[in-house]
Amino acid sequence: MNDTLSLILQVFRQAWVAITVVMVTIAILAMISHILRTLSASVIGAQFWVYESLASIGTVLVVIGIAFLGIPPIVSAVSTSIPNSPGCGPIAELGFFASGLIAAIVSLRMLIAFFRTIGGAALGGTAQISQAMIEASEALFGMLLAGVVIPLVGMFIGVCN
């Protein structure tokens, strides 16, 4: 079970790196595209487009900053609430497997939520930052709940005192 957990976590880590690289790539391309949009708007005299493009560039930077600087500390802090050896008896191993995966799944889910937001901002649409924060909060709440549920399940089943 430890080998399986290590293998799955390795894949999740590679997925994290891949998603962060794609986010940076999309952010760079979004900024240069909005530079083009700003330039075109200023040439034809469309002031609203200029403001909109400049705001989009700022939005992309802010969302990247929030995602890269906010997610790791939050996940690290909340993952301490997950018991390392939850339960006892037959479900101890399964609980250990689950607790190892929870932080990884929550991290990726939060990152993907911000990835969608950056995609929206890159296309010039509304950046659903609030939606990303709601999804991140849901993921964190699920993580905290799992930290409480895992020992309770063990006690309910009767394998733990």
Burial class of 44 by CB neighbour count within 10 A (0 to 12, 13 to 18, 19+): exposed
Size of the site for other proteins (CB under 8 A): 42
**Positive or negative, the Cα torsion across 36, 42, 46, 50?**
positive
Least separation in angstroms between CB 122 and other proteins: 11
Residues shown for the chain: 161
**What is the rounded CA–CA span in Å between residue 148 and residue 48?**
51
Q: Which is nearer to other proteins, 4 or 42 (CB)?
A: 42
Using the minimum distance from each CB to other proteins, give the nearer residue, 46 or 88: 46
Among 31, 94, 153, 159, binds other proteins (CB under 8 A): 31
Nearest to 80 by CA among 17, 141, 143: 143
Place of tokens 């018991």: 83
User: Minimum CB separation from other proteins for residue 70, in Å?
Assistant: 10
Instruction: Give backbone dihedrals phi and psi of 35, rounded to 5 degrees, phi first.
Output: -65, -45
Per-residue contact string for residues 94-133; x = within reach of other proteins by CB under 8 A: ---------xx--x--------------------------
Which stretch in 61-69, 86-94, 123-131, 151-159 sits in contact with other proteins by CB under 8 A? 61-69
In this structure, what token pair is assigned to residue 114? Answer: 């911000």
Using CA atoms, how far apart are residues 37 and 44, in angstroms rounded to an integer?
Answer: 11
Q: Rounded to the nearest whole angstrom, what is the least distance from the CB of residue 104 to other proteins in the complex?
A: 4
Taking the least distance from each CB to other proteins, the nearer of 9 and 159 is 9
List of residues contacting other proteins (CB under 8 A): 9-18, 20-22, 24-25, 27-29, 31-33, 35-36, 38-40, 42-43, 61, 64-65, 68-69, 71-73, 75-76, 79, 103-104, 107
